[in-house]
A and B are shown apart, each in its own frame.
Chain A
Amino acid sequence: MQLAVNIAVLASIYALISCGYVLIYRVSRVLSLAHGELMLLGAYGLYTTASLFAGSPLLAVAASALLAVLIGVLVYVLLMRRMTGESVLAAVLVTIALGILVRGLTVLVWSTQEQHPLDMLGWRNLSLPMGDRARISAVGLAFVLITATVYGGLYMFLRHTHWGIRMRAAGQNPLLAAQRGINLHVVYALAWALATLTGGIAGMLIACDNALDQTMVTIGLKAFPAALVGGLDSLLGALAGSLVVAGAEVLLIYYIDPLLSEVVPFAVLIAMLVVRPWGLFGSREELDRV
C-alpha cells in the first residue's frame, strides 16, 4: 500500500512538471529547457509573497500563482516572440540562455541559502494516514489532488473552450490557424503562461515538501524523460509516462537498489525510443519537428 502511495505522489510530481514541457511543445513546437528554472522562479515567487503577505497564506499563494502567469507571459512577449520565424533550434538555445539568466538572477536576488516557504506561510507538512498501512504527507496529497485538477482542467479547457480549441488548432497547423484569424501570439503567450503556472505550482509544492534551493533545477530535468516517454505532444502521454517512470523508480528502489533510481527514467526513455520513438501517445509526424 505504501508503495502505491509513493508511486502516486512521485507520478504526480513528474506529471505536473512535464505538462509544462508538453504545453509549450504542443503549441509552439519549442522544447523549453528553462522549465526547471521557471519552476525555481515560481517557488521563489511564493517565498517572496509569503514574506510580503505574512499572516495571509492564501493571499500569498494566489499572488505567487498570478506572478507565475505574469512571468510566463513576459517570457513570451520579451523573448520568445522575437524568435518568430527563426529555426526551432535557435528558440531552444534561447530557452537555455534564459535558464542560465534565471539561475544567476535567483542567486543575486535571494542568495543560495536554503529557504522554507511552508514555515513562512505558517503551515505544517502533516503526516496523514491512508488506511492502516500507509501514510502520505499533506504536501504529497496536495500534489496528487492539484495534478488531477490541473490535468482535468486542461482537458476541459482544450476540448470545450474557444481559446483551448484555438490552441489546439495553432499547434496542429499554425499557418492555417493564422489564416482563419487566430492570433498566434496570444495563443503562444497563453501556452507559456499555463506552462509557467503549472511548473511554478510544482516548484512551490516541492519547496513546501522539501525546501527551496538551487537543486530544483535538476529536479525539473528529471521529469523530462516522463514527458518524452509519454509522447512530447500529448498531455495524456505525459500522465502515462509519469506513471510508468515513477512506478519503475519506486519499485526498483524498494526491491533492487536505490542507486538505480537515478538511471531508471533514462533507461525507460531509451527503451521507449527503441520500441516506439514517438512515445506512448505521441504523434508519429512530430518526430520530424523535434
Chain B
Amino acid sequence: MKRVQMAGAAVAAILMGTAAAQDAYVVGVTGAMTGPQAGILAPVVEMAGAYVNHINSRGGINGKQVRLVVADDQGEPSRAAANAKKLLSQDKVVLLLNSSVSSTYAPVVAETKRAGVPLYFAGAVCPKETYPPADALQFCSTAFGATLDSQAALAFIGKSSKEPVRLGLAGMAIPVSRGEVDYAEGLAKKLGMTPVDKEITPPPTPDYTPFATKLKDANPNWMWAWSPWFAQVRTYEAMRRLGWQGRYLTWAHLNAEEELARLKDPDFYVIGTNAFFEDNLPIQAEIRAVAHRGNVKYPVTYLTEGYIVGLVIETALKNAGWPPTPSKVAGAMSKLKVDLKGLRGGPLEWTKDNHFRTRQYYRVWHWDAQKNAVTRVQDWQAIDVAHQ
C-alpha cells in the first residue's frame, strides 16, 4: 500500500512538474561551459541566464516565466548530441541555443531538424546556413562572421598603410579558422597585398615560438589573425618576443577590451562588432546591473554578447505569443528586429532568407600610449550582408 502511495506521489510530482514547465517558455542551451573553449563561451551563457532572470523578475514575457535549461557539452560533439536529444525530447524546449565549438554543430542541427525546433547559435561562429539564403530553422547573433570579418579587416589594413602591405596570416587548426585564413589570403591578393606566410597552429600548443619564428622570418609588416583568442594573442606575443615590429590586427573576442589594456601595445589592433565599455552607454550600465544581480562571475566587458542573446530571446518569445510552439518561435525569429541601443552599429535584423543579419558594422581599437587608454581608431563601417 505504501509503495502504491509513493508511486502515486511520484506520478503526481512529475505531472505537476510538467504542468509547471508548460506554464513557462522553455529554452534549452547546449554550451561549452567547461573544457578548453569555455573561457569565451561560458560568459555568453551565464549572461543570457542572468538576463532571463531579469526578465522573470519583471513579470516574464506575455505574463509567463522563461525557463533556461543549460547543459554542458564541454565542446564535445557526442555530449552536444546527447544534450540536444534530452532538451528536445524531455524538456520539450521551443528554442535550442548552441553556445559551443563548431564541431558540435552537425549533430545538434540533425536533432533540431528532426524535432522541427529552431536552433540559435549564440557566442560561437555563425554557420553558413544562417547567411542568405538561410536555413528555415537556423539563426545566429554571434558578433563574428566568416568572410565579412576578413573583408573589413583587410579594408582597414589597406586604409592604414602608406607602404605596400606584406601580410602574414595566422589561424588555428579548426575548419572555420582555416577557411577564413584561406579566404583572407585570396582576398589580400585581389586587393594588391602580398601574403608572405600563413601559419595554422594546433589547438592548443605549449609554445607558439616555432610558429612565430616562421612568420617573423617571412617579414610581414602587417598580420591578420582570426581564431580563438588564445591562439591569436599568443602568436602575437611570441612574434614580439622574437623582435618583430610590425602591426598586428586580430578579432575582438569577448576579452579584447581587457586584453588591450594588459598588452599596452599601440601596434596591436582588434576589430569587432560589439561596442566597448569605454563608450559608457546607458545600456552598458544596465548590463552591469543585470550581471551584478545575476551574480555573473566574469568581468562586465565580457558580457555584451550574452546580453544580446537575452534581448533576442525576449523579442522572439514576445512576438511568438502564448502558448508557444517551435514553429511560432521560428516564425517570429524569421522577422526579428532588435534595437541594440548602441551595442552594435545598428539593429540586429533577421529576415525570411537572412538569419545572420542584414548589415554588419565594424570598429577597430588599439591601446593609445599617450592617453593611456583603449581608444577607437575606426568608427562603425558597414558591410551589407549579401547572398554568399
User: Which chain A residues border B206 with CB–CB below 8 Å?
Assistant: 10, 13-14, 206, 210, 219, 222-223
- A211 CB-CB contact with B under 8 Å: yes
Residue of chain B at shortest CB distance from A110? B297
CA separation between A13 and B230, bound complex, in Å?
19
CA separation between A215 and B240, bound complex, in Å?
22
CA separation between A24 and B156, bound complex, in Å?
54
Whether the pair A6, B200 counts as a contact (CB closer than 8 A) is no
Q: Give per-residue flags for B5-44: 1 if the beta carbon is below 8 A from chain A beta carbons, else 0.
A: 0000000000000000000000000000111101100110
- B214 CB-CB contact with A under 8 Å: yes
- B243 CB-CB contact with A under 8 Å: yes
- A112 CB-CB contact with B under 8 Å: yes
Nearest CB on B from A157, distance (A): 26
Whether the pair A135, B202 counts as a contact (CB closer than 8 A) is no
Q: Which of A112, A119, A254: most chain B Cβ within 10 A?
A: A112
Which residue from A103, A112, A116, A219 sits with its C-beta under 8 Å from B205?
A: A219
Whether the pair A215, B213 counts as a contact (CB closer than 8 A) is no
- A249 CB-CB contact with B under 8 Å: yes
CB-CB contacts below 8 Å: B190-219 with A = 199-211, 213-214
User: Which chain B residues border A103 with CB–CB below 8 Å?
Assistant: 34
Q: A113-B297, A127-B242 are in contact. Are A214 and B205 (CB under 8 A)?
A: no
User: Which chain B residues border A114 with CB–CB below 8 Å?
Assistant: 39, 229-230, 255
- B114 CB-CB contact with A under 8 Å: no
CA separation between A135 and B211, bound complex, in Å?
14
- A258 CB-CB contact with B under 8 Å: yes
Q: A10-B207, A219-B204, A219-B206 are in contact. Are A214 and B38 (CB under 8 A)?
A: yes
Which residue from B39, B42, B210 sits with its C-beta under 8 Å from A249?
A: B210
User: Which chain A residues border B298 with CB–CB below 8 Å?
Assistant: 111, 113
Q: Which of B33, B199, B203, B207: most chain A Cβ within 10 A?
A: B207
Nearest CB on B from A199, distance (A): 13
- A213 CB-CB contact with B under 8 Å: yes
- A262 CB-CB contact with B under 8 Å: yes
- B234 CB-CB contact with A under 8 Å: yes
Which residue from B202, B208, B238, B255 sits with its C-beta under 8 Å from A262?
A: B202
Number of interface residues of B (CB under 8 A): 39
Whether the pair B39, A112 counts as a contact (CB closer than 8 A) is yes
CA separation between A249 and B205, bound complex, in Å?
11
Which residue from A3, A206, A258 sits with its C-beta under 8 Å from B211?
A: A258
Q: A213-B230, A214-B35 are in contact. Are A254 and B207 (CB under 8 A)?
A: no
User: Which chain A residues border B230 with CB–CB below 8 Å?
Assistant: 114, 210-211, 213, 215
Q: A113-B39, A113-B298, A114-B230 are in contact. Are A261 and B209 (CB under 8 A)?
A: no
- A122 CB-CB contact with B under 8 Å: no
Nearest CB on A from B78, distance (A): 15
Which residue from A211, A219, A258, A262 sits with its C-beta under 8 Å from B214?
A: A258
- A78 CB-CB contact with B under 8 Å: no
CA separation between A149 and B234, bound complex, in Å?
27
- B162 CB-CB contact with A under 8 Å: no
Q: A135-B242, A262-B173 are in contact. Are A215 and B204 (CB under 8 A)?
A: yes
User: Which chain A residues border B229 with CB–CB below 8 Å?
Assistant: 114
User: Which chain B residues border A210 with CB–CB below 8 Å?
Assistant: 206, 208, 230, 234, 237
- A60 CB-CB contact with B under 8 Å: no
Whether the pair A250, B210 counts as a contact (CB closer than 8 A) is yes
- A195 CB-CB contact with B under 8 Å: no
Whether the pair B202, A261 counts as a contact (CB closer than 8 A) is yes
Nearest CB on A from B182, distance (A): 12
Whether the pair A9, B207 counts as a contact (CB closer than 8 A) is yes
User: Which chain B residues border A214 with CB–CB below 8 Å?
Assistant: 34-36, 38-39
Q: A114-B230, A119-B262, A219-B204 are in contact. Are A254 and B210 (CB under 8 A)?
A: yes
User: Which chain A residues border B238 with CB–CB below 8 Å?
Assistant: 137
Q: A6-B209, A6-B210 are in contact. Are A258 and B204 (CB under 8 A)?
A: no
Q: Which of A3, A119, A211: most chain B Cβ within 10 A?
A: A211
- B241 CB-CB contact with A under 8 Å: yes
Nearest CB on A from B197, distance (A): 10
User: Which chain A residues border B237 with CB–CB below 8 Å?
Assistant: 125, 210
Residue of chain A at shortest CB distance from B202? A262
Whether the pair A218, B36 counts as a contact (CB closer than 8 A) is yes
Q: Which of A13, A127, A258: most chain B Cβ within 10 A?
A: A258
Which residue from A104, A135, A250 sits with its C-beta under 8 Å from B34?
A: A104
User: Which chain A residues border B204 with CB–CB below 8 Å?
Assistant: 215, 218-219
CA separation between A249 and B173, bound complex, in Å?
16
Whether the pair B199, A137 counts as a contact (CB closer than 8 A) is no
Q: Which of A214, A259, A261: most chain B Cβ within 10 A?
A: A214
- A283 CB-CB contact with B under 8 Å: no
User: Which chain A residues border B43 with CB–CB below 8 Å?
Assistant: 113
User: Which chain B residues border A135 with CB–CB below 8 Å?
Assistant: 241-243
Residue of chain B at shortest CB distance from A125? B241
A-B CB contact pairs (8 Å), 20 listed:
A9-B209, A10-B207, A13-B207, A111-B297, A112-B33, A112-B38, A113-B302, A114-B39, A116-B262, A125-B241, A127-B243, A137-B238, A140-B209, A210-B206, A210-B237, A222-B206, A253-B214, A258-B214, A259-B173, A261-B205
Task: Using CB atoms and an 8 Å cutoff, list the residues of chain A in contact with chain B.
Answer: 2-3, 6, 9-10, 13-14, 103-104, 107, 111-114, 116, 119, 125, 127, 135, 137, 140, 206, 209-211, 213-215, 217-219, 222-223, 249-250, 253-254, 258-259, 261-262
Known: A2-B242, A13-B207, A258-B214. 16 other contacts (CB 8 A): A3-B210, A6-B213, A9-B207, A107-B33, A116-B262, A135-B242, A137-B238, A210-B237, A211-B234, A214-B38, A214-B39, A217-B36, A254-B213, A258-B211, A261-B210, A261-B211
Task: Using CB atoms and an 8 Å cutoff, list the residues of chain B in contact with chain A.
Answer: 33-36, 38-39, 42-43, 173, 199-211, 213-214, 229-230, 234, 237-238, 240-243, 255, 262, 297-299, 302
